[in-house]
Structure formats: C-alpha cells, structure tokens
Chain A
C-alpha cells in the first residue's frame, strides 16, 4: 500500500511538451508510472514518444480525462500560467493535482486553492518535487527514483534535495519507504503536513513517518499537536533553518521567519513537546527511524 499515488494512478502531464515536462515524463515512464495523456494547448493530436510507448497529447485536461480516464495530474507549466492549469485540472474532475512549478504568484494561488477545494480535488504543491510510491513504482513529479526503495516509512517534506538526502540515507541503511511526499516550499500549498500524516495513519503498510520541516509559518506546530492526539505511529522530525536570520526569505518563498512566528526553535520545541523525536542533523534521521522501527 501507499498513499495518494499507487498502481491505480492514471497520470496526465500538463505542460508535457516543455523542456522540463518532456524530460520528467520520460523519467516517470521509465520508472513505471502509468502515464495516459499529456496536455499542451495547441499541440493536441500529437504525441510524446517515451521510448516504447507514445503518450497522446490533448489541448485540454477535460478532453484528456474524457478519452483516457486520467485521475491524477502533474503540472510543469511556467509560473504565469500554472495557477490556471491547476484550476483547469480541478474543473476537469482530476482527483489529485501535483504542481511542480516554482514561482507562482501567491495571490494566484489563493484563488486556485479556493477552486480546488470547491471541486473536492486534492492539490499537492506548488513548488514541490511531487510524490513517489516505490512498491508500485509510481512517481508523480521529479523525485529521483534511484534514492528510494520500497519499505515501511512514510516521508513528508517541505523541500526537495533535503528530502532526497534523507531518503537516500534511509535507503542506504536498508530502510525503504511507502510514499515520499514533497508538499512544497511556498506559503500557500494545497496539502499540508496534517493531510499527509492523516493519510499515513490510515495506511497499514506505513509503520513510521519522517517529517522534514523548515522555518516559516505554523504548519509544523499544528501537525505536532495533531500527532499527539491522533497518531500512534512513531514520527521523527527535522527542522531546517536554525541559523536563518529573521525576516529573510531563505530560497523557498515560504521559508521566512516573520515577526516572532515561524522560528526553527519554536518548531523543534513543538515537536519535542508532542512526542516527535527530533534529529539535530540529517544523518540522525536514519538512526532515530531505525530505533523507532525496532528489530
């Protein structure tokens, strides 16, 4: 089992003909993801060759869903059009929308998340690496598949390469993952830590969870309280940005300490107070997970 993406995933790639879109479509297909359609307005009727299979391209998500039964979408559309692409997917009835694009205007996102909620879809991202479920060889996004392996740990993170680092250490230690989820580094994201923890709670294969947070916002603090009340599976946490100065944006649009809120110290404390074991260095994540899983 896994969460959000698995062997039931039928993927449509929005922005499939772009440089990033076509590159990652081939990577996802090569790994084993079932990609049923691509969308690029004006390029409908064509197809993308992924070395074996040809993926049909449609002008609209709506048509792609009609013709192929796509239920999940991944978005590689440039920032000015990305919020529109998210809303198009939601309108077409896509259940899970994964937005990889970085740099979407925040006010665009406020409108997009409102529509996604109205349509009952789930959005992951934006500004995220996406998801991967190794057991079913399903990857939606850009997480390098070679650092992952099937196993009992759920991983949820606000960043990209830090996730790859942590996951690769787990994999090298012989500890695989059910699903790795990058929820994104923007101030407004569709799926937060609690959504993912809740999914991992219901997943019988997930025995422990790694939560990689960072400065900015209060999502980690709320998730920590939720863990105490609702999750009996062990959780190991890490917070990036202990040395970040206040008021400065650290790369991710959402990684900023504003006023007195969102500091690493506050988040680490919330983790500790609520029974989440905190790794002080990335390498400790693996040790703590190994202990949590037991012999």
Chain B
C-alpha cells in the first residue's frame, strides 16, 4: 500500500528525520491559513498516489498566503493521470544548495533490504541508473544486523564531501532504516534529500510503500489508507477478502488463483476482448465470497458478461456452483454469466448449474471465446 507524502513525512518526523514544517489542506482556505502560519514562501503539493506530480502542474511555489490559496484552488480537484487530487500539502519552501537521492527498499534478487543513494537527486533515479551507473551506490543490508554505523557513514560519504553534511546524512540513513523496519515498508524514499543554503540536510519529499502482509501485524497503519484514491469496487473487494484490480474492459472475470486469473485475462485479450478486472476468489468456495465477487463485478456498468474460470483442485467445483446459484437467488445480476469448471467434483457442479438453468464449459478456451463473443454482440 502506498501512503501520501504528508503521511510519510509524519513517519519521518517522528523518527527524527528533519523535514520542513507543513500541513495538509483539503480546501483553499485551509491552505491559506497554513501558509499564513508558516510565513514566507511555501510549496503547495498535490497528494496523489502517482509519480510525475511536478510535471503535471501539481507542485507550485507560492510567495504569499494569497498565492498559496490560489494555487491550492487550482490543484485541488485537478486530474493527475487519472487520479483526482483531494488534498494538498502546504510546506515551507527551502533554499536548496544541492539535491541527492536516498532510498531503502527490498531487493528481490539479493533477497535483502538495499540502500540506493546518489548525489544526483530530484530526478528520475531509473534514468540516472541507466545513464550514469557510477553516480549510484547500492548497499545491501543484512536484515539480521540492520544498518551498521560504518554502512550509514559510507552512504553519507558517497553523497557529501563536506564532513558536516555527511554527519547529518549518516544520522538520516540510520533513522530511515528504522522507519523502514518498524513500519514494514517495501520502500522508503527521499527524493530529494537536500542541503540548504545554510548547510542543513533535510528530506523535502518522502515516498513510502508498506508491505500489505506486514501491515496485518501493525493495524495502526491501516489508518493511513486513503480509499478516496481507489475505485469503490476495490475498497469493497478488499473488505470482502478478495484480491481485485479494476481494469477498463467489458468482460468481468472471476477466477480461483492469481496465476490462472492473469492467464484468463490474457486469454480474453487473445480472443479479441478486453478484461474488466482481475479477481482471485482464492481457495475458498464460501458462497459469501462468490456473492460478493459477483456483486462487485456486476456493479461495473461497462461489464457486459461475467466469466467464471474455476480449476478445482482443493477448491471443489460443486461448492463454487452452489455459490453461483445462491448468489443469483440473493441478488439480481444483470450481465449474463458463462462458466467453466474443471477438476474436483466437476460432474456434480454441472448438475447443480444445469438445474438452475446455467450451462458450464469444461475448456478454458471455449468459455473465454464465448464470453468475448457475447461481450462483442451485447
């Protein structure tokens, strides 16, 4: 789960990482009040879960509270790559002497946390990595020891020649690693980490992603979730314990298992259709989950047909069939449903569906082709 910059800065602040003062505003008037309290120049920053805010005009400098208010009124409600801005961070503008990049993240290949730092901050780090790999230091951390003092200093030394700056940065590395571990992060990034004209090292941007699995142990982090930045269907699916991603096609997909769910979406495209969603109902054949899945998919007005693809291994096909029949009796599902069931108790399942007037296919290709055709002619 991604959290907003202002929330990430709150985590930084409480860990002792210096960040400029600022507050989040939901209205232009609030932005004005915050700017007045901060005094001087401020930056008004869109709070959305997507990169490239600056290029989209979502980050603006204001030299007065009046200007901050007017920027906030421009940015609030703005659409940045499909996301509507509901909040802005109003923060003190800093006089920047230099910008660096610092991140700690989980490196899949090394199977450990790794620090990535570069004296070239404020830009896209993937570009720096591609063009000037020598400007980047990657330092893996043994999770059993944590970030050792000499490692923190080595990172800092790579960024700054000036001893005073390096000392401040080493402390920041140490604290950033603590933020990373104590909040079960998959990423904690400062881009840029700046040195002010007065020689102070500060984080003026913050990006934090939390590991969904780790969050279960830290329920207080759930409060950081911003459901306004996701489709209502995704919020609902999460509450129902379903793994769901909304897409923009018209073939609704309900599948057991993530790999098979992806393969089913791909097959929809192969036959010329467009999947409306990714949905994994998991191993459970609990009818409540099937009902929730059907309701969520059917609530998308673009969906013209709902495709079930169930491979019964541990999941029993007859249980899923009962779930589908029960779901239809509990709630009106407008789009037609096409079903493929194969594996454990397949014959029983086909009988249950047959009694309810539903036909089942046993081949994945057949059912997907049929679904795509139905969506095309609907």
Contact = CB atoms under 8 A, between A and B. Distances in A.
B280 A251 contact: yes
Nearest to A212: B259
Interface of A: 79-80, 103-111, 113-115, 142-144, 146-147, 157-165, 168, 185, 187-188, 212, 214-215, 217-219, 238, 240-245, 248-255, 259-260, 264, 280-283
Which 3 pairs across A and B sit closest by C-beta, in order of nearness?
A159-B259, A251-B258, A161-B257
Contact of A240 (B181, B214, B263): B263
Interface in B324-363: 342-344, 363
A245 B261 contact: no
A265 B214 CA distance: 30
A161 B245 contact: no
A162 B313 contact: no
B245 A254 contact: no
B126 A165 contact: no
Given A164-B313, A281-B267, A188 B108 contact: yes
B143 interface: yes
A164 B143 contact: no
Given A104-B213, A251-B278, A161 B109 contact: no
Interface stretch (B33-41, B87-95, B268-276, B298-306): B268-276
A111 B144 contact: yes
Given A105-B214, A114-B143, A252-B259, A144 B269 contact: no
Given A105-B213, A110-B113, A143-B313, 9 more contacts: A110-B111, A142-B314, A165-B342, A212-B259, A249-B245, A250-B258, A253-B211, A259-B126, A282-B263
Nearest to B368: A281
A251 B311 contact: no
B184 A243 contact: no
Contacts, number: 167
Interface of B: 106, 108-109, 111-113, 126, 142-144, 181, 184, 186, 211-214, 216-217, 243, 245, 247, 255-263, 265-270, 275, 278, 280, 311-315, 342-344, 363-365
A142 B280 CA distance: 18
Contact of B259 (A158, A187, A243, A264): A158
A107 B258 contact: no
Given A214-B262, A244-B262, A280 B214 contact: no
A280 B186 CA distance: 32
B364 A114 contact: no
Contacts of B245: 244-245, 248-250
A217 B108 contact: yes
Contacts of A107: 106, 113, 143, 181, 184, 211, 214
Given A103-B216, A159-B260, A144 B211 contact: no
B343 A187 contact: no
A111 B364 contact: no
B217 A105 contact: yes
13 contacts: A105-B214, A147-B343, A164-B311, A188-B106, A219-B108, A241-B262, A244-B262, A249-B212, A249-B245, A251-B243, A253-B212, A254-B108, A281-B267
Given A106-B186, A185-B258, A144 B268 contact: no
A253 B257 contact: no
Contacts of A281: 267, 270, 365
B269 A243 contact: yes
Contacts of A242: 266, 269
Contacts of A115: 144
A90 to B, nearest CB: 13
A162 B217 contact: no
Nearest to B110: A110
A283 B343 contact: no
A157 to B, nearest CB: 7
A260 B262 contact: no
Nearest to B274: A243
A106 B214 contact: yes
B270 A240 contact: no
A217 B108 CA distance: 7
Contacts of A243: 247, 262, 265-266, 268-269, 275
Nearest to B275: A243
Contacts of A250: 245, 258, 261-262, 278
B112 A162 contact: no
Contacts of B112: 110, 114
A281 B363 CA distance: 12
Contacts of B343: 144, 147, 164, 168
A100 to B, nearest CB: 11
Contacts of B342: 165, 168
B111 A214 contact: no
Contact of A159 (B258, B266, B364): B258
A115 B342 CA distance: 41
A245 to B, nearest CB: 7
B213 A187 contact: no
A161 B262 contact: no
From A109, A143, A164, A219, name the one whose CB has the most chain B CB atoms within 10 angstroms.
A164
